[in-house]
Amino acid sequence: MSSQKKPEKKQLSLNSFFGNNANKAPIKLATAKQEPVETASTPTPTDTTEQKKRKRVIISDTEESDEEEALPKLKAKKTASDEPTVKPEASSNVSKNEDMEVDSTNEKEDKLEHSDDEFDKEIEEAAAEEKEAKKEKLEMMSIIHTIASVGPGKSSIDWKKDTPVPYSVLCKTFEKCENTTKRLEITEHLVTLFVKVIEITPEGLLELLYMCINKLCPDYEGLELGIGESLLMKAVAQSTGRDMKQLKADYVKCGDLGTVAMNSKGSQRTLFKPKPLSVPHVFKTLKEIAKITGNSAQSKKVDKIKGLLVACQDEEAKFIIRHLEGKLRIGLAEQTVLSALAQAVVLSKTSKSKISTSKKEELLSTAVDTVKYVYNQLPSYDIIIPALLKYPLDELIDHCTMHPGIPLKPMLAHPTKSLTDVLDRFEGQTFTCEFKYDGERAQIHRLEDGTINVYSRNSENMSVRYPDIMNAINKWIKPTTTTFILDCEAVAWDKQESKILPFQVLSTRKRKDVKEEDITVRVAVFAFDCLYLNGESLLQKSLKERREALAGAFQETEHEFYFAKHMDSNNIEDIQTFLDVSITSNCEGLMVKAFDSAEATYEPSKRSRNWLKVKKDYLNGVGDSMDLVVIGAYYGRGKRTSVYGAFLLACYDPETEEYQTICKIGTGFSDENLQLFYDTLKDHVIDAPKQYYCLGENAVKPDIWFAPTQVWEVKCADLSVSPRYMAGVGRVDPNKGISLRFPRFIRVRDDKDPENATSSEQVSEFYFDQANQQGNSKNNDMDYY
């Protein structure tokens, strides 16, 4: 390994890396073979295809948590054992420099241990994503075959041609989707709805689709709802004439404010039947509510909400409230909506043609692939829906091409643990290695009119967060460059030392109302890809061509803009040395990418094995880390009396749209952390757990419940089956979930929304992999705290 190489050889390699390597031709990789390794058989998770709906239990106030205080003792014991011991008579001979060296070494070891744990989590998450993608592909093939064979279902509801789509039609479809967990049935319901809308009111398809995914606009426009419970309850009380205390009691009992609103409307008598709601009217009103700001904003929002609720019939009130909350909770994933849309367009255009089942199946499959491909490079329904209705599907790509101003979902790398995996993956191919920078992924766009925008990996426009980038960017651009989309990383930068600073430093920058003169943490941008240049998409070009375009269109400027450092070699020692250099340069590791083959294209919104992420080898079994959502807190005691002392965390199940409890955590926090969390979380306190919190029968009950807003990265020693926590329930046991043992707080994940937290399937993968490593089919250690 690199740590045992002679210094002379390493120095020679470093000189070759940082010379003129930009034009160095990649070397074709020689074959590298691995000896087969015997592995223990992997436990098979419980089949969850027909998984029962979990019971959501609202705990009474008399129940108490019985968590033991084992963590502080364990931490104290570990701290004591880790301290270096010095004999009394020798202590005076220990120099101050030696003490500093020991501290620095320990600090580096701690940092590397945390980094390795985080990377282990990424490997598990990538494996889970890959498994889910394969499962989804198989299910979609089955769905397409079924729909091609029997066609869309018959809609029992009709309305006059060229009139607005009734909101009741949409709500009845939602109701059907909520009553099943099968993706086939959900897709069939959507296809039936979309076909009907295309036939009767095609101009209403765009607003209808936005309502199905519960969005008001593309992600990059940043318009969201998420109205608070207190405001919604006030609107329900005023529109139905019910007492607020009765409403709160019903909500505590039911757990779903939408259902409470529906039941309240059902018991209300009216003199005149209101005019039926339509999808365009509801959608327009929701957008108006989201845009209300300034004085009397709350009262204006309540008035708008009351106007909708008064006109509701049957189940409409339930879904109006859920739209306003920002969560439909009917298991409707956006990828399912895209697939249903594509199939509905095909069925609408071929409804009068006699086509064989096999040909129809081929058309449906091609349509799904085409629509998803177009959406990945141009994620804007505002452009795609009109084009789908106007042009043939095989012309959609010609009319919906990527352009600056609409951010793409970034391509992601598949993590790997060893360099031999890299050699095996790229056997017989050319590849290139780049530094993997530890910062914030940024996508920089320049439009034809000269406007420049900076977007996050989640398509959030963060231009105002980086005024220093916005003011410096024109210095990087060569005169011949007009429009572009850059994929890059913004990192914290030390101008005095000319070096990269850790991500933790970058995370201290303000996120709102940033003025350049107030900035204390400077950033440098490291560009590693060019996706669009001077009016041309480069997605289908090889990385070699895209890198050449990048170098030809931009120029490095000191302390502001650099090209990602890269090295082209097939020698494993060279790659290991380059990896060592990346780590000492405050980078996370290496990105190894296909370079000039047919697989070297850019794949938006995909975690691809054509990009591999590799870090230093490390010891397995030191613990997993996950990104979890804070849903509750416990009052502190002793020195923590004035703040929350511990917290209840949950993972997220995207299939059921539930937050499943996973652990109580009380270690890893500084005093500053606890004060900050008390100050920020107290604004999100709710009276009772949300209806979509999966708690179980004998659940732990916190003193305070929170709405899901914050995501924390957490490290643990291991995982165990628990009767009191519900993470992954039904996967390892019909009634028990998975919990974390000895969890420890690492950091806040500001870059993740609660819905992007570690999923229940990923937690299950962690558990089964752990059991596999231990040689057990199941871990029977029960976790009762």
Give the three-state DSSP class for 296. Answer: coil
* 378/769 Cα distance (integer angstroms): 37
Q: 52, 79, 27: which is closest to 656 by C-alpha?
A: 52
Quick check: 39 pLDDT over 70? no
Taken in order 458, 464, 465, 466, the sign of the CA dihedral is positive
Give the three-state DSSP class for 326. Answer: coil
Q: What is the pLDDT of residues 538-577, one digit of tens each?
A: 999 999 999 999 999 999 999 999 999 999 877 777 888 8
Contact 746, 114 (CB under 8 A): yes
End-to-end CA distance of the chain: 43
* Residue 47 binned pLDDT confidence (cut-offs 50, 70, 90): very low
How far is CA 749 from each of CA 350, 503, 628, 640, rounded to the nearest angstrom? 48, 12, 9, 23
Quick check: 714 pLDDT over 70? yes
| Boundaries of every domain in the chain | 136-214+333-399, 221-325, 412-615, 625-774
pLDDT value, residue 153 = 65
The amino acid that residue 548 corresponds to is: E
Strands (E), 596-643: 607-614, 625-635
Residues paired with residue 663 on neighbouring β-strands, in sequence order = 649
Q: 55, 254, 220: which is closest to 658 by C-alpha?
A: 55
Instruction: State the DSSP H helix or E strand holding residue 574, giving kind and residue range, or none if neither.
Output: helix 572-584
Quick check: 347 pLDDT over 80? yes
* 705/681 Cα distance (integer angstroms): 10
pLDDT value, residue 619 = 26
Quick check: 593 pLDDT over 70? yes
Instruction: State the DSSP H helix or E strand holding residue 773, giving kind and residue range, or none if neither.
Output: helix 760-774
- The mean pLDDT of 582-602, rounded to a whole number, is 91
Higher pLDDT, 184 or 698: 184
Q: How many Cβ atoms from other residues are within 10 Å of residue 459's Cβ?
A: 18
Helices 297-310 and 229-240, axial angle in degrees (round to 10):
50
Contact 659, 690 (CB under 8 A): yes
Side-chain half-sphere CA neighbours of 752 within 13 A: 21
Average pLDDT, the chain: 81
Strands (E), 681-726: 685-686, 693-694, 704-706, 711-715, 718-722
Enzyme catalytic residues: 436
Contact 181, 50 (CB under 8 A): yes
Strands (E), 9-121: none
DSSP string, 739-750: EEES-EEEEE-T
Q: Please give the structure tokens belonging to residue 598.
A: 């047919």
pLDDT value, residue 197 = 96
pLDDT value, residue 428 = 81
* Residue 304 binned pLDDT confidence (cut-offs 50, 70, 90): very high
* Residue 628 binned pLDDT confidence (cut-offs 50, 70, 90): very high
Taken in order 181, 187, 193, 196, the sign of the CA dihedral is negative
* 306/450 Cα distance (integer angstroms): 44
Q: How many Cβ atoms from other residues are within 10 Å of residue 333's Cβ?
A: 15
Q: Which residues contact 579 (CB under 8 A, 6 or more apart)?
A: 2, 419, 589, 590, 614, 615, 616
* 491/502 Cα distance (integer angstroms): 8
Contact 682, 707 (CB under 8 A): no
pLDDT value, residue 273 = 77
Check: CATH 2.40.50.140 for 625-774? yes
Q: 138, 284, 103, 293: which is closest to 211 by C-alpha?
A: 284
* Residue 19 binned pLDDT confidence (cut-offs 50, 70, 90): very low
Of 9-18, 144-153, 218-227, the one with minimum mean pLDDT is 9-18
* 195/190 Cα distance (integer angstroms): 9
Residue 106 sits at φ, ψ, to 5 deg, of -60, -40
Contact 550, 586 (CB under 8 A): no
pLDDT value, residue 698 = 80
Name the DSSP letter for residue 692: T
Of 134-148, 348-362, 407-421, the one with minimum mean pLDDT is 134-148
Higher pLDDT, 555 or 133: 555
Quick check: 584 pLDDT over 80? yes
Residue with tokens 């996508």: 443
* 727/381 Cα distance (integer angstroms): 34
* 15/13 Cα distance (integer angstroms): 5
pTM of the prediction? 0.67
Q: Which residues contact 79 (CB under 8 A, 6 or more apart)?
A: none
Quick check: 138 pLDDT over 90? no
Q: Please give the structure tokens belonging to residue 400.
A: 């919906």
Name the DSSP letter for residue 439: S
Give the CA angle between residues 683, 688, 691 to the nearest 5°: 110
pLDDT value, residue 719 = 85
Quick check: 632 pLDDT over 90? yes
Check: CATH 1.10.10.10 for 221-325? no
Q: How far is CA 785 from the centre of its chain?
A: 29
The amino acid that residue 235 corresponds to is: A
Do the domains at 136-214+333-399 and 221-325 have one common CATH topology?
A: yes
* Residue 38 binned pLDDT confidence (cut-offs 50, 70, 90): very low
Q: 245, 97, 129: which is closest to 756 by C-alpha?
A: 129
Q: Please give the structure tokens belonging to residue 457.
A: 């990996």
Q: What is the pLDDT of residues 470-521, one digit of tens each?
A: 999 999 999 999 999 999 999 999 999 999 998 878 988 888 888 888 899 9
Q: 3.30.360.10, 3.40.1190.20, 3.30.470.30, 2.30.42.10: which CATH number matches 412-615? A: 3.30.470.30
* Residue 116 binned pLDDT confidence (cut-offs 50, 70, 90): low
Q: 279, 275, 276, 246: which is closest to 263 by C-alpha?
A: 246
Q: Which CATH number is 136-214+333-399 given?
A: 1.10.3260.10
* 493/489 Cα distance (integer angstroms): 12
Residues in the chain: 785
Q: 109, 37, 134, 114: which is closest to 418 by C-alpha?
A: 37
Q: What is the pLDDT of residues 245-292, one digit of tens each?
A: 999 999 888 888 999 999 998 766 666 778 899 999 999 999 999 999
